[in-house]
């Protein structure tokens, strides 16, 4: 199948591209390399030394004998080029990961908020708009987030995208309807994924387009079977306060003897998935498109839920790392429960990789190997959700003092 | 009160600005004059001869002794200028009408879809973002649309923004919750107003901003008490297939002896409001802000509902105009019922202007007066919702033939 991976140079995009290429699909990456620009902007680099996309593709060809195509297009800004490229290559499936994906980055300043909204909404809309325009009967698989549901306690399992509700009619009778789960985003980034849902639903309804939306949990791990095949195929691994996902951050902190930085009480419960399962889920979604005319098919792309402080304690027990409770820069419930339905992927054959395996140690090993590349000043999360909250977030220099206890 | 009217040069914006200025508010219009550019693009002009915004303001000063300020800013594209202006003038309330507001225009081509999404989403987000950034504790009043609810038959009255639903807990018990009414937009334009709702809700929640969202019905009429005060204060009046609202189009068609063009069976039921009530509702909303920390306050800004074919028949009886059923360029239910709750405005003192009054005749008189300005080629709606539907929409030349029967 001709598969275009938009955002194929990113943390999930790169291993997805390798995974699909390895399965025999004809893969082209379309990426404006914005994530590398953000590295430059923030002055933080991936913990793992990451080659250029061109070099990565060369190595992949050498290792696998397979080619991955590459186009530099900013799909959010360059509608016409996006359209022309789609009209020419005519992919049969589009994997859309071409969005700014970090909640703290989206809350960093007004400029970052504007960028995130403008980039993410236009990227998604331009793809849909162009597909219709060039009459491309392809399946669009969009990477969303569990964060569209919000993290408040609701006393019920989070369903896969759609919620059955009872509604009162004017005559007093009650009817049941399935509605899109009410959006409850906790950051500008999460909000953009809620906007995406409405864009996807509209084009599925108006134009009969086949759309799948993957509500992904926090991704952990860095290696997949394909990135392990050569040192230069290594995936990026973010440890900083903006782009590092929570479990990866804890493991990296443990690897270098830094205290585990737990926001607030650590009472937040989140959903998790290993990067290997993430790429496997995308493969399954690709193989199971909805029919034309169906509403978007929504999967919860996660395999387990954990309370943050339980994770911190687990890793502390494994490694002896200290746990430090630090002020929470986010505006969120201090404590929440979370039960999530993920039956669709399980029924379609996903065999989940859970936390108990040796993968936690593997990641600590990777972190240890590249420990000299870590700038500990960049570990704290300093993007505050509001000005008021910002007053309680220690400055970088204080964190430095805090961290130095561990060295 | 210092009130900024974003989009104050438009069809609702101009009479709103006059109305608020007349009440003694210190009004500044912020507008990029994009609606005038669209006139140029489409080669259609307002039926009423409309002066420049500068000239209109001069006349208003002459007639009322009051000044209305004016700034040319593209709030969707010029975030920094928007922010600087807000920081300097520090309005106490912002009326936000600065969005592309025609469903047919939004469906005209892929370029128009891209423009509508990019313009509307960034305009709303930039305002919210800038307000937070410059710590402007102002009330934001946003003009939304009844179209966010969709026009499918649900057997229940449309509530004012929020819907009470019954939800099943994991233990089998049922809890009641109030949720934002599920979005069901029928065009790219309506979709952007659904996206706006989520933007407004997020900033109200995260930053405690006071936000009111007005879900307006189809506006009819052109004059308000203030636009009547001088010929050069006249409001714009659109008769074309893109920007003309349905009832105004029928009245204008009747005035020139053109058949009334009813889409499909005319079985669509829609909500209506007279332009005088529209500006009065905005005044009421301005006087009744929500508290800081409250979710957005949503009003249904409409006063009555009618089936389209009933309106056509009413006007046909009044004027002797023919009624022509033409293929519907929209993808929508052929027939629908619609009951709408609008108690909030009634309780706050709105005394609705209904269709039975002399205002229908007034509009026919206005149309008759400027009849020589009408290009009948521009009357048909030619923006088709999908390529398939487009095949059934007669070309302009055929419509010309059709219309010539009336002359």
pLDDT at A403 over 60: no
CATH number, domain with residue B379? 3.40.50.720
d(C-alpha B140, C-alpha A134), whole Å: 39
pLDDT at residue B123 above 50? yes
Burial class (CB in 10 A: 0-12, 13-18, 19+), A117: buried
- Domain residues for the domain of A138 are 2-237+272-304+335-353
Residue B164: closest CA among chain A residues belongs to which residue?
A167
Distance between A173 CA and the closest CA of chain B, angstroms: 10
Q: To probe the interface with A, which of B169, B188, B204 has the most A CB atoms within 10 Å?
A: B188
State how far Cα B201 lies from the chain centre: 20
Task: Kindly state whether residue A390 falls inside one of the protein's structural domains.
Answer: no
Q: Is the pLDDT of residue B356 over 90?
A: no
B283-312 pLDDT per residue, tens? 999 999 999 999 999 999 999 999 999 999
Q: Is residue A257 part of a domain?
A: no
Q: Active-site residue A176, yes or no?
A: no
Strand partners, A326: A263
Which residues of B participate in catalysis according to the annotation? 145, 189, 193
Nearest to A118 among B122, B169, B185 (CB): B122
Rounded to an integer, what distance in angstroms lies between the CA atom of residue A223 and that of residue A235?
A: 6
What Cα–Cα distance (Å) separates residue A7 from each residue in A285, A301, B220? Answer: 17, 18, 46
Would you say residue A393 lies in a domain?
Answer: no
Contact indicator for B252, B47 with CB cutoff of 8 Å: yes
Rounded to the nearest integer, the mean pLDDT of chain B is 94
Burial of B172 (0-12, 13-18, 19+ CB in 10 A): exposed
CB pairs < 8 Å spanning A and B: 125
A276-282: average pLDDT: 98
CA distance B122 to chain A (A): 7
- Whether the pLDDT of residue B397 is over 60: the answer is no
Residue A218 located in a structural domain: yes
Give the minimum alpha-carbon distance from A183 to chain B in angstroms, rounded to a whole number.
Answer: 8
Report yes or no: A193 and A145 within 8 Å, Cβ to Cβ: yes
Residue B385: helix, strand or coil by DSSP? coil
Nearest to B110 among A121, A129, A188 (CB): A129
Burial of A285 (0-12, 13-18, 19+ CB in 10 A): buried
* Interchain CB distance below 8 Å, A170 and B155: yes
Whether residue B180 and residue A183 make contact (CB cut-off 8 A), yes or no, is: yes
Closest CA to A147 of A213, A90, A92: A213
Query: What average pLDDT is seen over chain A?
Result: 94
Q: Which residues contact B206 (CB under 8 A, 6 or more apart)?
A: A187, A331, A385, A386
Which of A16, A193, A261, A305 is the catalytic position?
A193
Measured in residues, chain B has a length of 407
Averaged pLDDT, B238-252: 95
As for how many domains chain A has, the answer is: 1
Classified as helix, coil or strand, B360 is helix
Residues B265 and B310 sit within 8 Å (Cβ to Cβ): no
**Mean pLDDT, range B242-256, rounded to an integer:** 94
Residues A105/A243, Cβ–Cβ less than 8 Å: yes
Q: Do B118 and A122 touch (CB under 8 A)?
A: yes
B4: closest CA among B24, B29, B32, B21?
B29
A22 is a domain residue: yes
> Which residues in A lie closer than 8 A to residue B166 (C-beta atoms)?
165-167, 174
**A269 in Cβ contact with A304 (< 8 Å):** no
* Of A113, A125, A165, Cβ closest to residue B165: A165
ipTM (interface predicted TM):
0.95
């Amino acid at each position: 199948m001709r598969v275009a991976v938009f955002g194929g140079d990113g943390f999930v995009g790169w291993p997805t591209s390798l995974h699909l290429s390895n399965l025999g699909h004809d893969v082209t990456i379309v990426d404006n390399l914005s994530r590398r620009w953000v590295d430059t902007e923030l002055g933080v680099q991936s913990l793992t030394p990451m080659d250029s996309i061109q070099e990565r593709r060369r190595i992949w060809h050498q290792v696998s004998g397979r080619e991955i195509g590459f186009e530099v297009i900013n799909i959010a800004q360059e509608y016409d080029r996006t359209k022309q490229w789609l009209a020419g290559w005519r992919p049969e499936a589009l994997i859309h990961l071409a969005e700014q994906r970090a909640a703290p980055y989206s809350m960093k300043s007004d400029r970052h908020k504007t960028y995130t909204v403008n980039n993410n909404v236009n990227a998604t809309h331009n793809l849909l708009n162009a597909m219709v325009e060039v009459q491309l009967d392809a399946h669009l698989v969009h990477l969303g987030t569990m964060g569209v549901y919000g993290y408040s306690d609701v006393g019920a399992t989070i369903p896969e995208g759609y919620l059955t509700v009872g509604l009162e009619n004017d005559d007093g009778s009650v009817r049941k309807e399935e509605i899109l789960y009410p959006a409850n985003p906790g950051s500008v980034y999460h909000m953009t994924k809620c906007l995406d849902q409405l864009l996807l639903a509209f084009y599925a309804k108006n134009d009969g387009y086949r759309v799948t939306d993957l509500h992904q949990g926090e991704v952990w791990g860095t290696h997949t079977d394909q990135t392990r095949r050569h040192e230069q195929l290594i995936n990026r691994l973010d440890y900083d306060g903006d782009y590092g996902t929570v479990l990866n951050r804890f493991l990296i902190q443990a690897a270098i003897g830094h205290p585990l930085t737990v926001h607030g009480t650590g009472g937040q419960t989140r959903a998790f998935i290993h990067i290997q399962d993430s790429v496997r889920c995308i493969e399954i979604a690709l193989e199971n498109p909805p029919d034309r005319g169906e509403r978007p098919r929504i999967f919860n792309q996660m395999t387990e839920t954990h309370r943050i402080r339980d994770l911190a304690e687990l890793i502390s027990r494994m490694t002896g790392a200290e746990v430090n409770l630090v002020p929470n820069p986010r505006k969120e419930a201090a404590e929440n429960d979370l039960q999530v339905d993920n039956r669709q992927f399980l029924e379609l054959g996903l065999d989940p990789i859970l936390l108990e395996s040796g993968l936690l140690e593997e990641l600590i090993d990777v972190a240890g190997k590249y420990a000299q590349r870590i700038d500990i000043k960049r570990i704290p999360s300093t993007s505050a959700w509001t000005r008021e909250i910002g007053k309680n977030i220690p400055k970088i220099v204080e964190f430095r003092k805090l961290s130095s206890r561990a060295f």
